[in-house]
Every structure is written in C-alpha cells, then in structure tokens.
Amino acid sequence: MKGDKKITLGLVDDHTLFRRGIASLLREFDELDVLFEAANGIELQAQLKAHEKQVDIILMDISMPKMNGYESTAWIKDNFPHTKVLALSMFEDEKAIINMLKAGAVGYMLKESRPSDLLMAMNTIMEKGFYINELVTGRLLSSLQHDKQTQQTSLKITERELEFLQYCSTELTYKEIAAAMNVSPRTVDNYRESLFAKLNIKSRTGLVVYGIKNDLIKL
C-alpha cells in the first residue's frame, strides 16, 4: 500500500535533544529518509534551498525562536508547495491547531504520540495529502472555511503587541509595562484590548496562557 520510494523528511525544532532524538528514531525506519534538521525557520529556509532533492514532509514544531512554526509553514506553502508540513506540538490547543492548519499544515500531532502513529500519519500524508486525527476534526476543518476573513485578520499580531505580550507574563502592572515600553499607559491598554479582540480573550491570564501555548512567550 505504500509507494516503494522513500519518504524524504526535514525536521524543525529548537530543542536539540528532541530533534536529534527524533532523527535517530526515524532513521531506523527504512521507508524514511531524514534529509536535514533545523532549529528554527531561518535555518529551515537555508536547508530547503540547499537541498536539490525534493522534501516530502517537514515535521514542524510551533514554538521556536527567530521564526516560529506558523511563519515557517506559511513560507513553505508559498515557496515549496509540494512539501507537506506536519505540525508536532506539545499542546492540544485548538487555536494553535487552527493557526497551523491555516498556515498550511496538513496535519497536527502531539509529542506524546507513539512513533508508529507518527509513521502512519506520514504514510497517510503521502497517500492522501493530509492527515486527520482526533485533534483535527471535521468541525475544525469546516470552521476553517468560514473564518477565512475573521481568522486572517485575527492572526496579525503586531510587533508592539507581541512585545507587550511578553511583558504580560511578568508581574509588572500595566503602568509599569507602559514605562518599560516607553509609551503611555493608555497605549498599553490599546495593545491589551486589541489582543483581547483578536484572540477572543478576556483576561491577562488568558493572554499569558495563549502566548505560552503558541510560543509567543518564552518562559
């Protein structure tokens, strides 16, 4: 049922031990060919450009410094449309799933998964072009159709808002954050309210949890 061609892979994850571990694990499978590893989106771009061989699937972490999983996935979709992205995340978070799928990922798996599940997912992707599991349900996919405008605008978190989001995970008050960011307290109010509206969140706590789950905040 599988093709006789090896599946060519790329790994993107900033946790070196995890990345190297997965690479070692996957190299034990004859039907897989791990072409390269990258610690973030920037490295990934270089690797993809350097390889002449077509890369079938990229296992992509979400939380990474420099260029995260969303941006990296979108970039791949634009520049290497034949390369499929399978998201690998720590968290079962609906927003993260939606965002990755919207960026162009064809599947979403947890790092708790078993190696055999991962292998099966990759085979499915090679056959059907996508992988649907209990995390990626029909409901989610249909919601993707509708929210195109909603979600697209909601995804655009600006630089200042991101900076503000970082400060939200500290014990600084908004007034102190304003001082740290060199703006008026009213302005940080705007950042907050803008993020609340975009992400459908109602409290600073919610922002922090969202930021951590989506790796916008590094602890």
What residues make contact with its own copies under the rule CB under 8 A? 14-18, 20-25, 27-28, 88, 90-91, 93, 111-115, 118, 168-171, 201-206, 208-209, 212-213, 219
Residue choice 28, 139, 186, 219 for contact with DNA (CB under 7 A): 186
Report whether 135 contacts 97 (CB < 8 A). Answer: yes
Q: Enumerate residues 6+ apart whose C-beta is below 8 A from 5.
A: none
What is the dihedral sign for C-alpha 161, 167, 169, 172?
negative
Distance CA 34, CA 5 (A): 13
Pick what 200 binds: DNA, its own copies, none; C-beta below 5 to 8 Å, kind-dependent: none
160 binds DNA (CB under 7 A): yes
Distance CA 66, CA 41 (A): 7
Residues in the chain: 219
Least separation, in Å, of the C-beta of 8 and its own copies? 19
Distance CA 45, CA 48 (A): 5
Scanning 12-20, 28-36, 60-68, 185-193 for contacts with DNA by CB under 7 A, the matching segment is: 185-193
102 binds DNA (CB under 7 A): no
Report whether 57 contacts 86 (CB < 8 A). Answer: yes
Residue nearer to its own copies on the CB measure, 14 or 43: 14
Q: What 3-state DSSP class applies to 123? A: helix
154 binds DNA (CB under 7 A): no
Q: Enumerate residues 6+ apart whose C-beta is below 8 A from 111.
A: 18, 88, 89, 90
Of residues 34-53, those binding DNA (CB under 7 A): none
Residue nearer to DNA on the CB measure, 84 or 192: 192
Residue choice 161, 180, 209, 215 for contact with DNA (CB under 7 A): 161
200 binds DNA (CB under 7 A): no
Binding site for DNA (CB under 7 A): 153, 156, 158-161, 173-175, 181, 183-184, 186-187, 189-190, 192-194, 196, 202-205
